[in-house]
Amino acid sequence: MTDPMSLAWARLRSALTDAFPQFYTIDPDGSLVMDLGCDGWLLEIRPDGMVVCQYGIAMDDVMALMSEGTAEDLGTDEVAKQAKYYLQPAVSKFRPLLLQSGFIETTEMTDEFVAITFTRAADVENPATVQDLIRWCRRQIGGVG
């Protein structure tokens, strides 16, 4: 028997890819991802119904900015701290609007990247409201309708 949540996700996923052909996936049944304009913001819709707006930077890019071409060994904590510093100007532009709109801010860090994420739950059973939220994100952050 198929999980009702996965059926709802399959229906939502289909509706979203029809409405927004800009979505792409990393794995076949996983999240849908879309670039939000040219500034590096990403929009992600996860199978659990979470809508994520994120802005990040690769750790390698931060290390290159910090070391200015030298082969210094930098600690992960130091690199992550600098990454957050580099992310702040772009994030601060949208932070008040996203927080006011019900998104919750967190920082995500892996060995590959640091990202500031804004998440908000969406109803996977209601594709129209999810599409409205996506349009809002695209308009506010990406400058597209």
Looking at residue 84, its pLDDT comes to 81
Q: What is the pLDDT of residue 4?
A: 61
Domain boundaries, the chain: 4-142
Beta-strand pair 50-58/32-36:
unpaired
Residues 30, 35, 40, 43, Cα dihedral to 10°: -50
Q: Decide: residue 28, CB within 10 A, 0-12 exposed, 13-18 middle, 19+ buried.
A: exposed
Which fold does the domain 4-142 belong to in CATH?
A: Yope Regulator; Chain: A, (3.30.1460)
pLDDT of residue 1: 41
The rounded average pLDDT for each run of 10 residues, N- to C-terminus, in the chain (145 residues) is: 74 94 87 86 93 90 69 67 84 94 92 91 93 93 75
pLDDT on residue 13: 93
Q: What are phi and psi of 72, to 5 degrees?
A: -65, 145
pLDDT attached to residue 44: 95
The pLDDT assigned to 67 comes to: 66
pLDDT given at position 72 = 59
What pTM did the predictor assign?
Answer: 0.85
pLDDT, position 71: 46
